[in-house]
Chains A and B, each alone.
Chain A
């Protein structure tokens, strides 16, 4: 019985998301798609309130001492943790779309990616071959076994997997932390290009001040759980 109920609920939910999604896409077509992230009085756990805007095509850094709550902020932005305040991607507010739709719009790359199927390819829906190649992988990477991946490989493949969703905003949690310098620079390039091509706002968490200089014009320093300071590298 439970399976039938489940199937029914799933069908209904899919229907709802599809409708919401189509409506959203339609409204974007009229106003030309942007991808601007606006955060108003965001509170989560004991943190905040934080308000800021990241324009479309803009890449903004986020740094601060370990454990201050940078990752928690990304989790709140993607609606994975309860939060107060409002988050907009253009004129779409977080609570006005279903959570799975929101999370496809606002893509997040965690510091440590997780893999649950046996093979890499089973986790990806039409991965971009050009991105795979630029990150040093062949086609046959899709047949690789997940348990044999190194941390760095997981991190790069995590980015490829995330881009399959074509997110309109990117939240990246130390995406180059376990990469060598040439791969790190390639990731920087790929993300900058993606941001410009698709008008995507990017929030990039890093401890690397050199990297902030290379890729951003401004960044936020989370000094404490209440203070977010805007700086120029």
Chain B
């Protein structure tokens, strides 16, 4: 089977749909059209650029270059996580907590998968390393962002309950335990849903891509299962550690709730 190559006209046709959505949102006064257009432009520019970058990195498969690219992806993911918080930790913490958690989970899981499962030589071969890390980061980012956002938001709303629990002599772990559990759950629901719905409701993107490119479906499916498991693990560990770090930062050594460590800057894209 030969792959159908897309022309730029094909892409423009798809873009018309996005523009239609933006126009509809103006008409319905959703004040979303700017965000839709900016996000669509970002997708176009970023993906075109990454196409060029991948071409260069594939041609020049040296570990330092791949590391540099991986770090760049991590920092960009960190920025996205920070930008999606309604109330984020003030100062460097807001960026640091999400980024460090994603580093711990995504990088560990990717390296584990590359060495122990894929077993390519060299293990960092960019054709595998970069897409794997990209998929992991993208999903972990969602989990981390949802988890932290729920944690800070719920702590803000339920501050009187948290403080009452502290007043009654509970320590900071007990006082925020329920909120913390709920935050981890919030972060993990998307990946649990997509694992549960995979194959029945949705055909996951990577598998679809491989099939479109001409791979035998069974081989594509095996890869997809692998990716699903890696994403679940990465998102889980990432969300757990992000929620743990953030909730730790919400209290001081004397077990006081320190909401003054949150700054409230609205959502940006």
Contacts and interface: CB of A to CB of B under 8 A. Distances in A.
Interface in A82-119: 82, 95, 98-101, 103-104, 108, 110, 112-114, 116
A81 interface: yes
B157 interface: no
B171 A100 contact: yes
B169 A101 contact: yes
Given A79-B256, A99-B254, A6 B166 contact: no
Contacts of B255: 98-100
A149 to B, nearest CB: 14
Nearest to A109: B167
Interface in B184-203: none
A10 interface: yes
A165 B241 contact: no
Q: Which of A1, A2, A13, A101 is most buried by chain B, counting CB atoms within 10 A of its CB?
A: A2
B178 A108 contact: no
B256 A114 contact: no
A83 B74 CA distance: 40
B164 A110 contact: yes
B168 A103 contact: yes
Contacts of A98: 171, 255
A161 B168 contact: yes
B169 A103 contact: yes
B86 interface: no
A10 B174 CA distance: 9
A5 B254 contact: no
Contact of A13 (B163, B167, B168, B171): B171
Nearest to B242: A2
A15 to B, nearest CB: 12
Given A2-B241, A114-B160, A165 B168 contact: yes
B170 interface: yes
Range class of the A interface residue count: 20 to 34
Contact of A80 (B158, B163, B241, B243): B163
Given A2-B241, A99-B254, A10 B173 contact: yes
> Which of B165, B168, B244 has the most C-beta atoms of chain A within 10 angstroms of its own C-beta?
B168
Interface in B219-269: 237, 240-241, 243-244, 252, 254-257
Contacts of A17: 171
A60 interface: no
B161 interface: yes
A6 B163 contact: no
A78 B241 CA distance: 31
A3 interface: yes
A162 interface: yes
A1 B240 contact: yes
Contact of A116 (B161, B240, B244): B161
B160 A1 contact: no
A196 to B, nearest CB: 23
15 contacts: A2-B240, A10-B171, A13-B171, A17-B171, A80-B167, A81-B256, A98-B255, A99-B254, A99-B255, A100-B171, A110-B167, A114-B160, A114-B163, A114-B165, A116-B164
